């Protein structure tokens, strides 16, 4: 029977080093999404069901294109950080590294695809 303090159990486990930074990045991106999602809904919503020419003309204006681009970028970065945290908590070993790389690649690919689509509409 070992009587160890919490500190003694944690010695040798290593430090996370970036936990505080990661926490603040998630909080800031969540707050940004709190502002961006309603803006996106109110700018994108009226265009649902419209024809291609109307949507293209609408997104050629700067405000809707910027709101859509920022929403896509911030959402994908928030997704990447959240999924990375989840994988670090629940997956271990080589599978963890593979899963983190796959999800980071997926989030960057989705962000690039979305931004490319908005740029094509806007230009």
State the pTM of this model.
0.83
Domain boundaries, the chain: 22-122
**Span 94-119, average pLDDT:** 97
Cβ count within 10 A of residue 112:
13
d(CA 10, CA 95): 24
CATH domain 22-122 topology: 3 helical TM bundles of succinate and fumarate reductases (1.20.1300)
The pLDDT tens digits of the residues spanning 5-64 come to 777 777 766 665 677 888 999 999 999 999 999 999 999 999 999 999 999 999 999 999
Mean pLDDT estimate for the chain: 91
d(CA 20, CA 26): 10
**Span 60-89, average pLDDT:** 96
């Amino acid at each position: 029977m070992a009587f160890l303090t919490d500190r003694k159990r944690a010695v040798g486990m290593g430090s996370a080093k970036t936990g505080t930074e990661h926490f603040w990045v998630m909080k800031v991106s969540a707050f940004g999404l709190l502002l961006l999602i309603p803006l996106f809904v109110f700018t994108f919503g009226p265009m649902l069901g419209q024809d291609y020419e109307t949507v293209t003309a609408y997104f050629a204006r700067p405000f809707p294109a910027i709101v859509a681009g920022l929403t896509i970028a911030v959402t994908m970065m928030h997704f990447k950080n959240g999924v990375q945290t989840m994988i670090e908590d629940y997956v271990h070993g080589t599978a963890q590294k593979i899963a983190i790389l796959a999800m980071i690649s997926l989030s960057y690919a989705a962000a690039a695809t979305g931004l490319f689509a908005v740029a094509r509409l806007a230009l």
